[in-house]
């Protein structure tokens, strides 16, 4: 959010015409500062209580170290509330906690392990409620991976769009948010992606990098996770892709075997595929009453429970959204509703 500064020379109530008016301005400024301070304190207390409650669901006698890690990782992966960690811990302590919880790098997925050729003509889609104690969430299971593609805002480079707009433009039945994008201090308009963005075999955007983090599909409708050069991307026939991280499951192996993944509790979006080709799209609400949020390990474990063989984390936080059957199914965490983003995974 941004505040608007009112110029003293143009606003009539702020002209120094009388001591009463000047005093009123000073009183307003003090009141505003008190309100901002109260808001920060309130948020601190709310998140602390929420994390204490959330911590209890991991183990009956969870150690202080685990709760401390959850506190720090949750705070440091927000844009506006990192002070909740920096107030209490040094930079070195925060870095140690973040490093000890992060997901392992498992390399590239084995494309040959996925058998999409066995998929028949079943075009079923199932919406599954995967809510647990601490968060509400949904899993969309798509039988035919050929129906899943990447779509981009029609104003690429200028501003992003919302899922309903993308659904109307493409005729999609379902839409989730996609990859990474440039959002300086949370004030961007969602128009500029980061990494690489590919839709229907066409590269719509790419940063000047030697290799690219790929979450996408090849022409055989296999979900491909890996780090590749442009030449490798072309040779692998990648038809649709975005960039984000980390990969949570690669070739059936989980990336998080200790800690919570290093990103704390937050709204989540992820995409995965089973060995028989089905696509899993997951969205979890967070940062709100009734749904605190999920860790990356929560996401990993839910996807594994539903048979995922490869899973990638997508952009989360205020971006997390699931549109299905003409409505937004979840509750985005942003106070102003759904966020504008540049890329999406859609189901035709």
> Is the bond preceding residue 246 a cis peptide, omega within 30 degrees?
yes
Task: Kindly state the tokens that stand for 210.
Answer: 């030697």
Overall pTM > 0.85: no
Counted residue by residue, the chain has a size of: 348
Query: CA 338, 344, 348 angle in degrees (round to 5)?
Result: 110
Mean pLDDT: which of 66-75, 80-89, 195-204 is highest? 195-204
> What is the reported pLDDT for 61?
45
Distances (CA, A) of 230 to 33, 191, 203, 210: 51, 23, 10, 8
φ and ψ at residue 161, rounded to 5 degrees: -130, 175
The answer to whether 311 and 268 are in contact (CB under 8 A) is: no
Per-residue pLDDT reduced to its tens digit, 55-66: 434 444 445 677
The confidence band for 7, taking pLDDT boundaries of 50, 70 and 90, is very low
Question: Tokens 């307003």 identify what position?
Answer: 28
Per-residue pLDDT reduced to its tens digit, 233-287: 999 999 999 999 999 999 999 999 988 898 889 999 999 999 999 999 999 999 9
First to last CA, the chain: 35
Q: Is the pLDDT score of 48 beyond 90?
A: no
The confidence band for 47, taking pLDDT boundaries of 50, 70 and 90, is low
Helices of type H across the chain:
19-56, 64-76, 83-86, 91-101, 163-170, 230-235, 296-305
- Single out the residue of 196, 306, 316 nearest to residue 246, CA to CA: 316
Task: Kindly state the tokens that stand for 36.
Answer: 């901002």
Torsion angle of the four alpha carbons 299, 265, 51, 105, in this order, in degrees rounded to the nearest 10: 70
> How many C-beta atoms lie closer than 10 Å to residue 334's C-beta?
16
> What is the reported pLDDT for 166?
98
The answer to whether 337 and 331 are in contact (CB under 8 A) is: no
Tell me the C-alpha distance between 163 and 47, whole Å.
29
Per-residue pLDDT reduced to its tens digit, 95-132: 877 777 789 999 999 999 999 866 655 679 999 999 99
Task: Kindly state the tokens that stand for 19.
Answer: 């001591």
Distances (CA, A) of 58 to 52, 62, 76, 144, 282: 11, 7, 21, 35, 21
Tell me the C-alpha distance between 103 and 2, whole Å.
34
The confidence band for 134, taking pLDDT boundaries of 50, 70 and 90, is very high
Per-residue pLDDT reduced to its tens digit, 148-184: 999 999 999 999 999 999 999 999 999 999 999 998 8
Task: Kindly state the tokens that stand for 11.
Answer: 């606003």
H helices, E strands: number in the chain:
7, 17
φ and ψ at residue 98, rounded to 5 degrees: -60, -45
């Amino acid at each position: 959010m941004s505040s608007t500064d009112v110029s003293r020379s143009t606003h009539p109530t702020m002209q120094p015409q009388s001591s009463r008016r000047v005093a009123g301005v000073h009183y307003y400024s003090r009141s505003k500062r008190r309100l901002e301070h109260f808001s920060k304190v309130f948020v601190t207390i709310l998140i602390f209580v929420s994390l204490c409650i959330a911590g209890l669901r991991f183990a009956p006698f969870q150690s202080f170290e685990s709760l401390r890690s959850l506190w720090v990782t949750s705070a440091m992966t927000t844009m506006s509330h990192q002070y909740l960690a920096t107030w209490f811990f040094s930079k070195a302590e925060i870095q140690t906690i973040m490093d000890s919880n992060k997901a392992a790098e498992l390399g590239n997925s084995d494309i040959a392990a996925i058998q999409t050729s066995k998929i028949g003509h079943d075009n079923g889609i199932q919406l599954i409620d995967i809510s647990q104690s601490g968060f509400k969430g949904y899993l969309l299971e798509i039988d035919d991976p050929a129906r899943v593609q990447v779509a981009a805002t029609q104003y690429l480079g200028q501003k992003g769009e919302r899922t309903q707009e993308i659904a109307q433009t493409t005729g999609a039945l379902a839409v989730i948010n996609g990859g990474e994008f440039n959002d300086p201090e949370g004030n961007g308009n969602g128009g500029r992606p980061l990494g690489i963005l590919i839709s229907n075999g066409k590269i719509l955007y790419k940063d000047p990098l030697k290799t690219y983090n790929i979450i996408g599909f090849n022409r055989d409708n296999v979900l491909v996770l890996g780090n590749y050069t442009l030449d490798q991307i072309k040779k692998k026939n990648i038809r649709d892709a975005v960039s984000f991280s980390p990969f949570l499951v690669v070739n059936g192996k989980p990336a998080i075997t200790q800690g919570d993944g290093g990103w704390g509790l937050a709204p989540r979006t992820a995409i995965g595929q089973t060995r028989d080709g089905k696509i899993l799209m997951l969205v979890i609400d967070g940062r709100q009453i009734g749904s605190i949020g999920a860790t990356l390990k929560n996401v990993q474990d839910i996807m594994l429970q539903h048979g995922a063989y490869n899973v990638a984390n997508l952009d989360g936080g205020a971006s997390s959204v699931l549109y299905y059957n003409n409505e937004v199914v979840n509750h985005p965490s942003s106070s102003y509703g759904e966020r504008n983003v540049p890329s999406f995974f859609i189901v035709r």
